[in-house]
Amino acid sequence: MSERIRVLLTEEEVDHKISEIGAKISKDYEGRSVHMICILKGGVCFMCELAKRITVPVSFDFMAVSSYGGDTKSSGVIKIIKDLDEPLKGKDVLIVEDIIDSGRTLSHLCELLKHREPASIHICTLLDKPSRRVKAVNVDYTAFEIPDEFVVGYGLDYDQRYRNLPYIGVVEFDED
């Protein structure tokens, strides 16, 4: 089986939307700082571009969780691969995700982080697939709602490939 990539969202569309979200976050956090937690690996490209467009002070931390493995669908089993380096107590936390699908991973993560006593927890995602949601999550900032298709690019991968695409594409499989 081979695959090809169809462009879903162009580089220009993604860039424009990230600028809009950065401006909104800057307004919402005016007078405060925001502690951005990037969910690795997929969220890196989005968080870096987003942070450049936020005008309030920002700090970064990183967390790696997995629920996919090498598949195109979430397994439902959440594993923490890398935990945070910094304590969260009293911080205004913004979780930065590449994509929210079933909501299982993010729901689990939010519960875990609440016990670390941040001042607030908000969620920002590049992509949202509400049609796949099985666990309710309150997403504060969403760049794009997308249909139920497997997407890559801008940090999102298929078996560790395509993360470096500057756009969001849909993986289409060909029968060989």
Catalytic residue at 101? yes
Reading the block at residue 107, the tokens are: 């729901």
């997308």: which residue's tokens? 146
Neighbours of 69 (CB within 10 A): 11
Beta pairing partners, 34: 58
Neighbours of 132 (CB within 10 A): 15
Of 101, 128, 140, 157, which one is the catalytic site residue?
A: 101
Number of helices (H), then strands (E), belonging to the chain: the values are 3, 9
The three-class DSSP label of residue 40 is: strand
d(CA 167, CA 137): 26
Q: Which residues are catalytic?
A: 101
